């Protein structure tokens, strides 16, 4: 089984990114859109404050990198790069390059069909 070499650098943003979400909608944007449309169409039946709002702050990093085959050195396109434990992910382009936003202490999982999956810690 071949392995994947991953080279990346990351830049920590100098500010925290605030975002707000419905407490019962988790992170699924489709559910959030449905909740907003439902509220807009039936406002007369809803109480004044039906949802609990939470604010979260994450200091994000923008990670860029290139995935190469460790034997041939050729770039690999279509490699899955995702933040471990989340639904955040991306795939590499034709040159093996990727770009992803992740928390500062995240671990990236890099996987490709026929290759060994590796984990790279960002700290």
**Given this model, what pLDDT does residue 105 score?**
85
> Which residue is listed with tokens 């650098």?
9
1-15+61-123: which CATH topology?
Answer: Immunoglobulin-like (2.60.40)
The distance of Cα 27 from the centroid of its chain, to the nearest Å, equals 11
Q: Where are the domains of the chain?
A: 1-15+61-123, 17-58
| Range among 4-8, 20-24, 90-94 with highest mean pLDDT value | 90-94
**Given this model, what pLDDT does residue 17 score?**
44
pLDDT average, residue stretch 71-76: 90
Q: pLDDT digits over 76-110, tens only? A: 999 999 999 998 999 999 999 999 988 888 899 99
pTM score, two decimals? 0.53
Q: How far apart are CA 55 and CA 98, in angstroms?
A: 29
Per the rule left: phi > 0, alpha: psi between -120 and 50, beta: everything else, 108 is beta
């Amino acid at each position: 089984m071949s392995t994947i070499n991953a080279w990346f650098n990351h830049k920590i943003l100098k500010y925290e990114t605030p975002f707000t979400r419905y407490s019962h909608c988790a992170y699924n944007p489709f559910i959030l859109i449905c909740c907003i449309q439902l509220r807009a169409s039936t406002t007369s039946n809803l109480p004044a404050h039906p949802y609990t709002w939470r604010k979260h702050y994450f200091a994000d990093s923008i990670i860029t990198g290139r995935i190469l085959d460790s034997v041939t050195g050729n770039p690999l396109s279509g490699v899955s790069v995702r933040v471990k434990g989340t639904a955040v992910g991306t795939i590499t382009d034709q040159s093996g390059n990727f770009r992803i936003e992740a928390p500062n202490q995240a671990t990236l999982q890099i996987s490709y069909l026929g290759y060994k999956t590796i984990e790279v810690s960002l700290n």
